Amino acid sequence: MKRHAIFLAIVAFSQPLAAADLLQTYREARANDPVYASARAARDAGRENLPQGLAQLLPTIGATGFTQMNNVDIDFRGVAPPSSRDGNTNGYGVSLTQPLFNWQSIMAYKEAGFKVAQAEAVFGQAAQDLIVRVAQAYFDVLASQDTLAFIQAQKAAISEQLAQAKRNFEVGTATITDTHEAQARFDLAVSQEIAAQSDIEIKKRALQQIIGKLPEGLAPLKPSTVLSPPQPNAMEQWVAGAEDQNFAVRVQQATLEIAAREIERARAGHYPTLNMVGSYGKNSASISTIGTVSMGTDSTSRTIGLQLAIPLYAGGGVNSLVRQAIANEEKARQDLENARRSAALAVRQAYLGVTNGMAQVRALEQALVSSQSALDSNKLGYEVGVRINIDVLNAQQQVFSTMRDLAKARYDTLVNGLKLKAAAGTLTEADLETVNRLLGTN
């Protein structure tokens, strides 16, 4: 176990001194991730539903103005000589319409509030997804870096074993088989090292897609990290919270409310509408004849009144819209139920991922101790001639495989903890800060 701690310390200190931590990486992603930016713009667009809905209940005011030149030629058919009249007409007007009763507009305004809530929930889900995506990509890079470090350390250990096998063969205390076995393991380690280097590049590019730049260095997980169980440590409490607070559930709840009001909007096609209307206008006209100027006329009009519109028959279209809206409401209700079940499933999976992950970490920590002891015993047995080279190589491989699996189990457990809170609808930047405190070199 002491060697394991030393190795993890070497891996940690091999990181750049100015390595970015998880919180810094998340803030860069929040500023540069196009998926998050798209969701933010969609939320801003969704917020505009409320003033648009309110606008349908407020008065509308319009103004018009005009000017026109008039030229009229008149032929009196022999009774009098033809004459021409010229002039111009000017005018302007202002009109106002105030809805007094329009059930469709009232329902549209009520819908608007739920559309805003829907947009906010979609954005909230996108914000949580960003945290999870950043953490997953971040720890994927760390896992790839650890894998490469373990492979390189294993290659160095195999190289030492290969050199020892060659020396033993030269002095006649071992067969050429030991050398061939060690050489084969060394060549395999070289191949694995190349694959691991490629995997690191791929994982870094995946993180680059989120943060907008290639990460230079990332802060590693502290060697002394102790994982904590979820709080509360009861699966069904998490499930109960997720069925109401999960953002996908909130989206479908808003969708159901919108669908219910769509039914009322459709039925309003049978209802009368009542508006108050008013107008003010002024016209000025003047006409002149050849040699004679006639007087112009000015007129001013003022009107105010009520307009009642009663729909009588629309070809059955309103009834069809009502049936369609009812079907859409049933769809929204079933989608809500599916969202609740999906949220419950996601919570259970993430919860088990955390609890089982912690158990796996403890088991792998114990397995590492046992593997290290087995390696030490095989090395000693090889030196005294009771073990062969392949035994030592197998023991070495077991140690480094266990170290790799242990590191991966820790990362997966941390990510599952974030996924658990995301499924419950409670994941915030503060949770990321808690994980971020586990990063460092001491």
Is the domain of 161 the same as that of 295?
A: no
How wide is the angle at C-alpha 264 spanned by C-alphas 261 and 269, nearest 5°? 135
Tokens of 120: 């906010």
Between CA 154 and CA 402 the distance in angstroms is: 12
Binned average pLDDT, 10 residues per bin, the chain of 442 residues? 47 55 94 95 96 94 89 67 76 94 94 96 96 96 93 87 82 78 88 93 94 90 87 92 94 96 94 95 78 70 94 91 96 96 95 95 93 89 78 86 92 95 94 92 65
Is the domain of 223 the same as that of 249?
A: yes
| 252, 282, 309 - which closes a domain | 309
Is the domain of 200 the same as that of 267?
A: yes
Task: With beta carbons less than 8 A apart as the criterion, state whether 27 and 130 touch.
Answer: no
| 254, 286, 309 - which closes a domain | 309
Secondary structure of residue 102 in the 3-state scheme: coil
Is the domain of 128 the same as that of 240?
A: yes
CB-based contacts of 389-398 (< 8 A; 24+ apart in sequence):
389/161, 389/165, 389/174, 389/177, 389/178, 389/181, 389/182, 390/178, 390/181, 392/161, 393/158, 393/161, 393/181, 393/182, 393/185, 395/371, 396/154, 396/157, 396/158, 396/161, 397/154, 397/185, 398/371, 398/374
Indicate the pTM of the whole model: 0.85
Query: Based on the number of CB atoms within 10 Å of its own CB, is 389 exposed (0-12), middle (13-18) or buried (19 or more)?
Result: buried
pLDDT at 381: 87
Structural domains counted in the chain: 2
Q: Looking at the domain assignment, is residue 441 inside a domain?
A: no
pLDDT at 301: 92
Closest to 248 in 3D by CA, of 350, 348, 130, 128: 128
pLDDT at 140: 95
CATH of the domain at 299: 2.20.200
pLDDT at 47: 96
| Burial letters 202-211, b for 16+ CB under 10 A, else e | ebbeebeebb
Q: What is the residue-wise DSSP string for 3-46?
A: HHHHHHHHHHHTS-TT-B-HHHHHHHHHHH-HHHHHHHHHHHHH
3-state secondary structure 388-432: CHHHHHHHHHHHHHHHHHHHHHHHHHHHHHHHHHHHHCCCCHHHH
Instruction: Please report, as a single letter, which amino acid is at residue 57.
Output: L
Is the domain of 422 the same as that of 298?
A: no
Closest to 29 in 3D by CA, of 431, 439, 429: 429
Q: How far apart are the first and last CA of the chain?
A: 17
Facing residues of 98 across strands?
A: 276
Greatest C-alpha distance within the chain: 145
Question: What 8-state DSSP symbol labels residue 387?
Answer: S
How many C-beta atoms lie closer than 10 Å to residue 309's C-beta? 10
Is the domain of 42 the same as that of 89?
A: no
pLDDT at 291: 53
| 287, 309, 331 - which closes a domain | 309
Between CA 218 and CA 227 the distance in angstroms is: 20
- Cα distances from 49 to residues 37, 112, 252, 260, 292, in angstroms, run 20, 5, 17, 17, 61
Secondary structure of residue 302 in the 3-state scheme: strand
Q: Looking at the domain assignment, is residue 374 inside a domain?
A: yes
pLDDT at 223: 83
Is the domain of 112 the same as that of 66?
A: no
Element (H, E) at 99: strand 83-101
Q: Residue 80 is part of which domain span?
A: 61-100+273-309
Is the domain of 12 the same as that of 129?
A: yes
Is the domain of 372 the same as that of 299?
A: no
Q: Looking at the domain assignment, is residue 138 inside a domain?
A: yes
Is the domain of 399 the same as that of 380?
A: yes
pLDDT at 2: 46
